[in-house]
């Protein structure tokens, strides 16, 4: 069995966009997914098409399923916590993928955790 980091509960999560949540001073990125961007797509990147406002609203709706908890898996180059997060029993990366509000990015899925969780 793989040791998992402890889950951290956040009583007042703030949804920044479809894959980013602020919890206090910590910026959390949902592991393994990418969503449409509010600030446009840089030339050097292939961004996810879609409506960023819809993606954000979808994630906000998911938070109503119960307490928000997350496990920090790693940190990206910008220092953001890459997390597996849940609202109640709902895995938030899987939620966004199942509603076509995100695209799965295997290169961003440390250890294939999201691929396994979203089967």
Instruction: Indicate which CATH number applies to the domain containing 66.
Output: 2.40.50.90
**Phi then psi dihedrals of residue 110, to 5 deg:** -55, 120
Q: Which 8-state DSSP code applies to residue 66? A: S
- Kindly give, in sequence order, each residue whose CB lies less than 8 Å from that of residue 6, ignoring residues fewer than 6 positions away: 71
Predicted local distance difference test score (pLDDT) of residue 72: 96
Predicted local distance difference test score (pLDDT) of residue 2: 57
CA 61 to CA 11: how far, in whole Å? 16
Contact 81, 75 (CB under 8 A): yes
Determine, yes or no, domain membership for 33: yes
Range of the domain at 102: 8-117
Determine, yes or no, domain membership for 88: yes
* Beta partners for residue 23, in sequence order: 26
CA 59 to CA 81: how far, in whole Å? 17
pTM, entire model: 0.91
Determine, yes or no, domain membership for 1: no
pLDDT in tens, the chain (119 residues): 556 778 999 999 999 999 999 999 999 999 999 998 887 777 777 778 889 999 999 999 999 999 999 999 999 888 899 999 999 999 999 999 999 999 999 999 999 999 999 99
Determine, yes or no, domain membership for 2: no
- Provide the number of structural domains found in the chain: 1
CA 1 to CA 28: how far, in whole Å? 25
- 3-state SS assignment for residue 107: helix
Determine, yes or no, domain membership for 35: yes
Determine, yes or no, domain membership for 3: no
């Amino acid at each position: 069995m793989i040791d998992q980091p402890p889950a951290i509960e956040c009583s007042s999560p703030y949804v920044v966009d479809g894959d980013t949540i602020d919890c206090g001073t910590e910026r959390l990125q949902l592991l393994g997914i990418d969503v449409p961007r509010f600030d446009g797509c840089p030339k050097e990147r292939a961004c996810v098409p879609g409506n960023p406002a819809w993606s954000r609203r979808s994630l906000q709706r998911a938070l109503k399923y119960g307490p928000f908890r997350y496990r920090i898996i790693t940190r990206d180059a910008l220092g953001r916590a890459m997390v597996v997060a849940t609202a109640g029993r709902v895995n938030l990366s899987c939620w966004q993928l199942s509603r076509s509000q995100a695209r799965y990015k295997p290169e961003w899925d440390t250890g294939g955790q999201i691929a396994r969780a979203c089967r």
